[in-house]
Each structure stands twice: as structure tokens, then as C-alpha cells.
Chain A
Amino acid sequence: MSNDDRITLECKELTKTYFSTEPPAKVLHGIDLAVRTGEFLVVMGASGSGKSTLLYSISGMDRPTTGSVLLEGRELTSLDDAEMSRVRLTRMGFIFQQAYFLSNLNIQDNILLPALKAAPGDRDAVVERVDALMERFGIGHVKRHGVTQVSGGQLQRASICRALAGRPAVLFADEPTGALNSSMSAEVMNALTDVHGDGATIVMVTHDPACAARAERVVFLRDGLLVDTREQGAWTAETAKQREDDLFSWLSSNGF
């Protein structure tokens, strides 16, 4: 959607080795990747190829072993834990395969939590923004519900609201539809596409070609290395079927 060529997020020669195992697990072997501002990027690859690791490493959840990560020009690898948390709080949003929520807060409070933490003095504005987001993604009526009272699709849309509430520079999603059936999956992907339409930068990991078809660019990861990239332009509902087929054959050629 965006033809902006500025770079929001960039990693260079990123490697990650987990030392908790014996022998240490070398997962990423040197990744160079730049995410353009407003871009919808999808990472694909076989199970265990290191997709999640890449996502966690560039978002500062895990500390990269070597290499650098730049967010809006700022080096992240040299930040300490508190600074990195601050960056996640104010500049990043996360959506996971499972919708992790605090069961002792209602849906609205769960969404408010990080935004309130980021701007404690701005409560009314934050509440207003969150309410608007919830209405927009069709969960305005379950605000006061408990986590166990809503469907998986609603929960995942709540995740999106929570990720967006802090107005992040980049949205990370790790298989956001992995635990959903196809209709709920479509609900969530529509929401993400919508968000992207507003100019959000999205980095998403997925196994599902139908989801990946929504992205502007797909990169393919194999054994910790980026082996292929596919630019596929902006998604429209009309071209959806065609894009999926094309993507599928590209994936097949990569041995997916």
C-alpha cells in the first residue's frame, strides 16, 4: 500500500544462538532485513527454521547474539532491559498465536493496560482511543466481558486493539491465526489488512499461504538464513485468489 521508502526497522548480520541447550542451538546465522515504513512483511519457512526467533530477536524480547537492530534509526541491541521494555511499550505492538490475556481483568482493561502504562497522565484520551478501536474491530459490546466469555476470534481482535492502543511504529504478529478456524482467521486477517491500510508497519510470521497472500512482501527463512524474497504488491479482495496461487507455487519452489 505504501510507497514510502523510509526504513522503520532494520537488522544487520543478526545471529542468535541459544545457550540453554547442550550443545548450544545456533538458530539464526546472519540475517539482513529492512522493513519499510508502512510495509506489510510476512516471514515464512518450515517449522523450526527460526521464524519466531527472528521476530523475538528484532523486537528485543530476546537478546541477539551478534549483529545490530535499528528501530527508526535507533540501535536496540545496546539498550538495557528497562530501556528495551520502554521501546516495546511505546513503539511496538505484539500479537501472538495464543491470545494471552490477564484473566483477572476484563477485555477493555487488558487492552488499556499497556497504553495506560505508557501514558498514565492521559487516561481519558487513552480510554477514548481504546473504545474507538474496540468499536472499529467489532468488539465494543464485549468490553466488560471476562476473557473466558468471548470467542477466539474476538480475543485475537482484542489482541490487535491492545497492540495498536499505544500507536506503535511496528506491529509484530507470530502466527496470529494459527489457533483459529478459517472464518475467525479471516476476521483477524481482515482486521490486520485494515490496520495496514491505515499505514501500520507489520511484520508477521505465518504458515498459512492465504494469510501470507495479504502481505506486500514475503521472505523465506530456511535453517536460520533468509533464502528468498518475493515482492507481491498491494492486496485487494479481487486479486486474492490469484495471489494465493502464485504465492503457493513460489513456496513450492522453495520446498515449503
Chain B
Amino acid sequence: MSLHAPESWSFTVTIRDSIALRYSYNDLTRNKGVNLALIVILVFSAFLMATGSMVIERVLSSMDQFFDEARPPHFLQMHKGAYDRAELERFASEHPEIDAWLIEEMLGYDSAAIAWERSSTGEGGDLADSLIDNLFVTQNAEFDFLLDENGSIPRPDAGEVYVPVAYREQFGIEVGDLLRVQTAEGVQELRVEGFVRDSQMASSLSQSTRFLISEDDFAAMSAAGGAIPEIIVEYRLTDTSLVQDFQTAYESDDALPKNGESVPYQLLRIVNALSDGLVAAALMFASLLLVAIALLNARFVIRGTLEDEVRQIGAMKAIGLPNRTISGLYLAKYRAMTFLACVVGGLLAIAAAQMLTRTVQVDYGAAEVDLVSVLVPVLALAFVYVFVIAICRRVFGKIRRIEVVNALVHGSTLDDRQTARRAAREVKRVRRTSLAAFGGGNLNRRLALLDLRAEARQWVLIPIVMFLAAVLMTLPMNLLSTLSDPAFVTFMGSPESDLRADLEFSEDVDAVHGDLLAAMSADEGLENVRAFANVLYETEGEEGWEVLRVDVGDFSSAAMPFIEGGPPGTGEIALSVMNAEKYGLATGDEILVRLDGEPSNLTVSGVYQDITGGGLSAKMQGEVDAGAASYTVFADTAAGADTAELVAEYADAFPSAKVTPMREFMEQTLSYVTDAVRNAALLTFAFGLGVALVITSLFLKLRLTRDRQKMGMLSAVGFSTNELIAQVRGKTLAAVVVGTVLGSVFAATGGESVAGSLLALAGLGIVDLEFLPNPWLVYLAYPLLLISAGYLGAVFLTSRLRGADKSSWLRG
């Protein structure tokens, strides 16, 4: 306290603010270490809160702006092969809710058929590393525009091509480069005129991407052959709330083309927001944990301050200063610190958010920074500020209960009743222990344990903080390892495998499928070959019969997780989460389906999660080798065989098959998500360790100050400094270990449901997230690191006890 001159007290009310400031300043400079630690934690939490809210705002507004300009379809249906245009026209005329519709024709090329070259430097290469479909299209007239980087609608001239922005990122293609596309007749040369963003296929989860060319080139390439023609039927509706009904109507209309994926608008948005949304959610979550940690600490520090300064407070009360004035005096410091932390955290967040939303800006273009962009993080920070101050105010509310006499005479913050209660507690505690009857053992350990028990109310801070820090570090990491785990595909509705061959609909698809399956089964380099057929069943929906996509194959041995029930046997069917919800079915219920007009009743054997193709799928036991919409063959590579070689081999032998190395495919399709989550995981990892270090240091700093006289006494009666240090370190280690272990256990059990329900909220067809953690990492390395960080704080602080003159401890 700096209020030396009693005369100044009488002015306090009028010049309260300047005194409060002066007090804050003096205190801030005096207790540098403690205040610094508190500010660091506050900055951490403000930083994460601001970053999270900024990322969310940036993603949503970039996407809004982009969707406004690109006008993506509200419902789209992909299709390969023949279709009846007249039926589509009939359907359109029957549905007045259609605002506009179009059929987009596309030419699909294999990645290896596309090469680029920079004549100035001779650099170049092909796109073979890309595992997604490359579709060449012309610009649409009314909606679903491909936009260039300025947000305008480019219309390439003959000989020009606009390349997906993702390829600029992946391959370093630049404007002016040449693109060579291998057609059946020869090479079509195109000049890269610019890059386009794609509202339909921008998402990292999309399995195809679109190139923009002129009408003339499209006609020429189409005539030249070598491409797989494909169409997307796209609709804009008068109101997006009609999408669901519209989709049902479309799918229940037999005459319409529908052997490919169908995607409703909402799914487009969700999938687009998923990756960055996850990061933002992780950061906000982390920030909330940090705010909690900051508050626990503020509370701890404030209580310490009150005890240290109780005599001054008593004096101020004695001369009649109102409680509000006194607590305002102390609160000023916390106001200043929290404000400072919010400003610093906010500024740091600007840079971090910029970095984290870089891919968003590439894919969607940067939205303009408007009032809302500023307001959102400011409000988030204001929330942090108000919340922290409110809690501090509550703790300072204790000043009201401090009694002048107790404060001045005994230097105690407690009133008579509390003092009596504390004494009674002590007496009870003392009665339960006895060194006289103590059967040997280590005295230092015994003292440390007694301390922990007696000071449990203070020490509990450490386990709580370590618990939160462990959760903070483990959850994002578990999410990351789950996303990068090969078994994650099973959440996406397909079995785990090394290699996957897709046969889309074509005239001779049944025959090719037979050959392919035979070849793969006979191949010694492959094992565990499983074939699935995608058969378009029908089932009764609200508006009559509608399409139900069913994977038919052998699921008896498939190790895919079911959230309820199990794999289908004969006469049974398994449904994806979204289908089960759509039709209101659960395991054991009956469902009526029909194929080629022939109805049959099936029992639901189980429900699984699926996020592919809109999440609407079903699985049936059986074998189908004719009449399917498409086929998929999964296989594992035998020991010694090379997946990449096999992929190339089969792609050559079966040009109409799309052969994919699954692990690489998963890595690529999920790479944006995993990269983003990795950033968040690294950030929270660093923060978790930082918090562990800072908080244990802060806590011990205050604790050791408080324990000086006790240490002085123990030293006088013959305990060496090393023994005293060992006691403190032992106590810290115990507290740190307990918190960390509990936190890791919680993250492993309860944390899963927290993260799972976040994902379920996204409505993606994942309702039950099962973490696929890297157990060595999160249950061994992380806890050990966390414990080390906490222990390091103890080592760091206690080592300063060595070499101190012990009399200074006794002098208080």
C-alpha cells in the first residue's frame, strides 16, 4: 500500500481515481512477477477468445459474401451417362418453387492427363498427385458462377483456361503457364488466364474441382474424346427452406437422372464451414478454459492480497471509508491489467486470425472488413473483461466482511465466527495426527502431506489448473489424430482399406466390374478384396416412393463401427444416421423397400455414421454384379507390395475405373481440415504447457512468500534447504500429477462426448465421435510434458531458495 499520509485519506473520495491509479501503478511495479504471470494468463485467454471469434466471423462473412456473388445451387444432382432432358423440363414445369435451373455439362479428366508448363523457366509437371476429379466446364449464365479472385465472373476466350485456386496452392501454377490436356485425339493446349473459386467444390472435402474454359474449347475437347462426360443438374429455389422437400420430390421422381451424388444447399454450407469452423470452435473452447484458469488465479491472488493488506484495509475502514471505495481502489489494478490484456490479446489475435484464415481467403476471397468484423472480436473481448472484473468484484466483496478490530489487531481477514471456525478445524486436524505415534518413515514426506491436507483449499488450485490444461492440450490433439487416423474413413461410411476402385455408371459397367473383381482377386499383391455395389432402391417417403442408395456387399467381416445395432444379415438393412433420422427408424424397426418395382420388407440391423454424399446411405448384405448404379472394390495391399504401383497398374488396365490409394486420398481430402486442426492443436499445446509453467510458478511464488517464516523456523531447527525444497517440489508434483491424470482421463472419456456433440451440432451425420487417439502421445507424452512443465515451475522457483540468507525468511 502506498497510502502513507493519513491526511490524504480525507481526500480519497474526491480524488479517488488518481489514488486508485497511483495505487495500481505502485502495486504493479512492486509485485512484478505475480502481476506479470496474471497478465500473461489474461493475455492468453483474451488472445484465444479474440482469435476464435475473429476466425468465425471471417469464415462466415467471407462465405456469405462469396455465396452471394457465386450464387451456388440450392440443390444439385450429379449424373453420369444418358438422361432424358424432356423429363427434367417436365419436372421443372411442375415445380413453381424453382427460380432457375440448369444442366451443366462437364468433361472429366484424370489428373495424370493434365500437365502444366512455364515456357519462361521450363518448369512444369502434371497434376497426377491430385486425387480428385478434374472437371472442365463453361461459365454458367444465371447462377453457380465460378468467380475469379476479384469476385467477378470471368468468361474465358478460346484458348484460355481458369484453374482452381487450390491448384495454384498445390502446384504453384501461375497466370501465363500452359496447360496441356491429353484427349483421345491429341493434346489440347490452354493458357492459364486466371484462377477461379468454386462455391460447390471449394470445400476441402469435395472430391472434384472445376476448370473454366470457353464454349469453343469445350466443344472441341468434347469432340476429341478421352473425357468422361458428366452432368450436374442444378436448381435455385425461391426459398432455401424448401430445399428438403424439393430434394424429396426430385428423388422420388423415377424419370430423373440421379446416379451420382446429390447435395442440398445446407450441406454445401456446412461442409464449407467445417474445417475452419472446427478450428474456431477449438480456439473458443480453449479460450473458455483459459478464462477459467485466469479467474481461478485472479481469485487466488486477490485473496492473498487481502490477507497481506488487511491492516491497511482495517485502517481505511476505521476512518470511515466506504467498502465500495476500498474495493474500487484495489479493483483498479485488475481493471487496468484485464484491459491491458484484452488490448494486447486482441492485437495479437489480428495476426493469428489472418494466418488461420489464409485458406479461407484463398478459397472464398477476403470479405470486406466492416463494422461487424470489428465488433465481433471487440464484443468477445468485452465479455472476457466484464466477466473477469465481475468475478474479481465478487472476491473483493470480502472486504465488506473484514472487521476493523480483527484486521488491525490480529491482521486477520476473518471475522470472529470465521476465526473460531478455522481454529476448530485446526484443532480437529491436529487431533487426528500424531508424530509421537508415527511409525517412522520419511519426516519430510509426512510434513509435505500434512501441509497439503491443511492447505488443501489453496493447493487445489494447481490440480484444477492442470486438469484444465490437460483437457486443453488433449482434446484438439485427439481430434487431430482422429482425423489423421486411417480408421477415420469408417466414420465416413467406407471400410478401412489401402486401395479403392470406383466404377461409375457406363454402358459396360457390369462387365468391367466382373473383370476388375476377377483380376484383383487373383492378384497376389492384393488381399482382402471386397466388392460393393451401389444399388438404387426405393422406399416410401413423405411424398411417395423415393430413392434409397444402398451399398450391397459382404459386411459380415467389415470392421466398421455401428453406433447402434450391427451389420446387416439377410433380410436386414443398416442405415446411416441421417437416413435413420429421416425415416424415423431405429434398430429392429421394419422398412419397406422396392427394387425394380418388387417390394420387400427389411429389418433395420443397425445405424452407422456416414458423412459422404450427404450422409444418406444404407447397407445390405448380398452380392450384386449387374444393374447397379456404380461399384466399388476395396482391397488391402499385401506385405511387400507397393500401393502406388498397384494403383497405377489398375488405372492403366481399367481406364474407366477410378483407382484411389485410400490413405493418400484421405490425407489429401482432409488435409485442409487436419492442417487447420493441427494449427489449433499446436497453439493449445503450447498454451497448455505455458499455462502449466506460469501457474505453478505464480502459485509457488505466492505460496513461498506466505511460507517464509515456516521455512525459516524449519531451517533453524535443522532442516536443510534441500529438504525444504524437496518438500515444496514434492507437494507441487503431487498436485500437478493428480490434476494432469484426472484431466487426461476426463479428456479420454468425457471429452469425447463434448467434442462429439459439437460435431453433431454441425449436422454432418456424425453423432457419436469416437476418438482415435495416439495413446502414447496423449496418455503418456502429453501428461509427462505437462507434469514436467508444472514441475519445472517448481524447480525454477524453489532453486532460488538456495543461497538465500535464511534469516531473511524469519524477518518476514
A residues with a Cβ closer than 8 A to B are 18, 20, 52-53, 56, 59, 61-63, 81-82, 84-86, 88-90, 92, 94, 96, 98, 100-106, 108-109, 112-114, 116-118, 120, 123, 127, 144-149, 162, 166
Contact A103 B443 (CB under 8 A): no
Choose the segment among B179-187, B422-430, B754-762 that binds chain A (4+ C-beta atoms closer than 8 Å): B422-430
Contact A109 B720 (CB under 8 A): no
Contacts of A56 in B (CB 8 A): 805-807
B718 within 8 A of A: yes
Contact B716 A88 (CB under 8 A): yes
Contact B807 A53 (CB under 8 A): yes
Closest to B450 in A: A104
Min CB distance, B405 to chain A, in Å?
A: 18
Closest to A172 in B: B716
Contact A105 B805 (CB under 8 A): no
Contacts of B723 in A (CB 8 A): 85
Among A82, A84, A85, A100, residue most surrounded by chain B Cβ atoms (within 10 Å)? A85
CA distance A104 to B453 in the complex (A): 9
Closest to A52 in B: B807
B436 within 8 A of A: yes
Min CB distance, B292 to chain A, in Å?
A: 30
Given A61-B715, A85-B721, A108-B435, 13 other A-B contacts at CB below 8 A? A20-B805, A59-B716, A81-B720, A89-B719, A94-B716, A98-B709, A102-B713, A104-B454, A106-B433, A106-B434, A108-B436, A116-B438, A149-B427
B712 within 8 A of A: yes
Closest to A62 in B: B805
Min CB distance, B419 to chain A, in Å?
A: 9
Contacts of B450 in A (CB 8 A): 102, 104-105
CB-defined A-B contacts under 8 Å, sample of 30: A20-B805, A20-B808, A53-B807, A56-B805, A61-B715, A61-B805, A61-B807, A61-B810, A85-B715, A86-B718, A96-B810, A98-B709, A101-B713, A102-B447, A102-B710, A102-B713, A103-B426, A103-B430, A104-B426, A104-B433, A105-B450, A113-B443, A117-B443, A117-B719, A144-B430, A144-B431, A145-B430, A148-B423, A148-B426, A162-B717
Contacts of A92 in B (CB 8 A): 718
CA distance A6 to B575 in the complex (A): 99
Min CB distance, A8 to chain B, in Å?
A: 18
CA distance A90 to B719 in the complex (A): 11
CA distance A124 to B440 in the complex (A): 11
B residues with a Cβ closer than 8 A to A are 423, 426-427, 429-431, 433-436, 438, 440, 443, 447, 450-451, 453-454, 709-710, 712-713, 715-723, 802, 805-808, 810-811
Min CB distance, A229 to chain B, in Å?
A: 24
Closest to B452 in A: A104
Closest to A108 in B: B436
Chain B interface helix/strand/loop/mixed: helix
Closest to B711 in A: A100
Contacts of A96 in B (CB 8 A): 713, 716, 810
CA distance A166 to B717 in the complex (A): 10
Contact A112 B805 (CB under 8 A): no
Closest to B442 in A: A120
CA distance A84 to B718 in the complex (A): 8
Closest to A61 in B: B806
Given A20-B808, A96-B810, A109-B435, A81 contacting B719 (CB threshold 8 A):
no
CA distance A18 to B811 in the complex (A): 14
Contacts of B451 in A (CB 8 A): 104
Given A63-B805, A104-B450, A116 contacting B435 (CB threshold 8 A):
yes
CA distance A147 to B425 in the complex (A): 12
Q: Which of A52, A59, A98, A105 contacts B435 (CB 8 A)?
A: A105
Contacts of A146 in B (CB 8 A): 423, 426-427, 429-430
Among B423, B426, B435, residue most surrounded by chain A Cβ atoms (within 10 Å)? B435
Min CB distance, B413 to chain A, in Å?
A: 16
Closest to B434 in A: A109
Min CB distance, B16 to chain A, in Å?
A: 34
Min CB distance, B443 to chain A, in Å?
A: 5
Among B436, B451, B712, B713, residue most surrounded by chain A Cβ atoms (within 10 Å)? B436
Contacts of B720 in A (CB 8 A): 81-82, 84-86
Contacts of A94 in B (CB 8 A): 716-717
Contacts of B807 in A (CB 8 A): 52-53, 56, 61-62
The 9 closest A-B pairs by CB, nearest first: A89-B718, A100-B713, A85-B720, A56-B807, A104-B454, A109-B435, A114-B717, A62-B805, A94-B716
Contact A90 B718 (CB under 8 A): yes
Min CB distance, B466 to chain A, in Å?
A: 24
Min CB distance, A131 to chain B, in Å?
A: 9
Contact A120 B710 (CB under 8 A): no
Min CB distance, B809 to chain A, in Å?
A: 9
Contact B806 A105 (CB under 8 A): no
Given A56-B805, A85-B723, A94-B717, A120 contacting B443 (CB threshold 8 A):
yes
Contacts of B434 in A (CB 8 A): 106, 108-109
CA distance A231 to B459 in the complex (A): 53
CA distance A148 to B423 in the complex (A): 7
Contact B430 A105 (CB under 8 A): yes
Contacts of A88 in B (CB 8 A): 715-718
CA distance A148 to B427 in the complex (A): 8
Contacts of A162 in B (CB 8 A): 717
Contacts of A108 in B (CB 8 A): 434-436
Closest to A112 in B: B435
CA distance A118 to B716 in the complex (A): 13
Min CB distance, A64 to chain B, in Å?
A: 10
Q: Which of A81, A104, A149 contacts B802 (CB 8 A)?
A: A81
Min CB distance, A118 to chain B, in Å?
A: 7
Contact A104 B430 (CB under 8 A): yes
CA distance A141 to B454 in the complex (A): 25
Contact B443 A106 (CB under 8 A): no
Min CB distance, B804 to chain A, in Å?
A: 9
CA distance A103 to B713 in the complex (A): 12
CA distance A117 to B444 in the complex (A): 9
Contact A120 B440 (CB under 8 A): yes
Contact A127 B436 (CB under 8 A): yes
Closest to B720 in A: A85
Given A85-B719, A104-B430, A109-B436, A18 contacting B443 (CB threshold 8 A):
no
Contacts of B443 in A (CB 8 A): 113, 116-117, 120
Min CB distance, A109 to chain B, in Å?
A: 4
Min CB distance, A167 to chain B, in Å?
A: 13
Min CB distance, A98 to chain B, in Å?
A: 8
Closest to A95 in B: B716
Contacts of A52 in B (CB 8 A): 807, 811
Contact A113 B716 (CB under 8 A): no
CA distance A18 to B431 in the complex (A): 42
CA distance A53 to B453 in the complex (A): 35
CA distance A149 to B451 in the complex (A): 19
CA distance A104 to B805 in the complex (A): 26
Contacts of B802 in A (CB 8 A): 81
CA distance A104 to B715 in the complex (A): 17
Min CB distance, B653 to chain A, in Å?
A: 79
Min CB distance, B715 to chain A, in Å?
A: 7
Min CB distance, A139 to chain B, in Å?
A: 15
Min CB distance, B643 to chain A, in Å?
A: 63
Among A52, A112, A117, residue most surrounded by chain B Cβ atoms (within 10 Å)? A117
Contacts of A101 in B (CB 8 A): 713
Contacts of B710 in A (CB 8 A): 100, 102
Contacts of B435 in A (CB 8 A): 105, 108-109, 112-113, 116
Contact A100 B453 (CB under 8 A): no
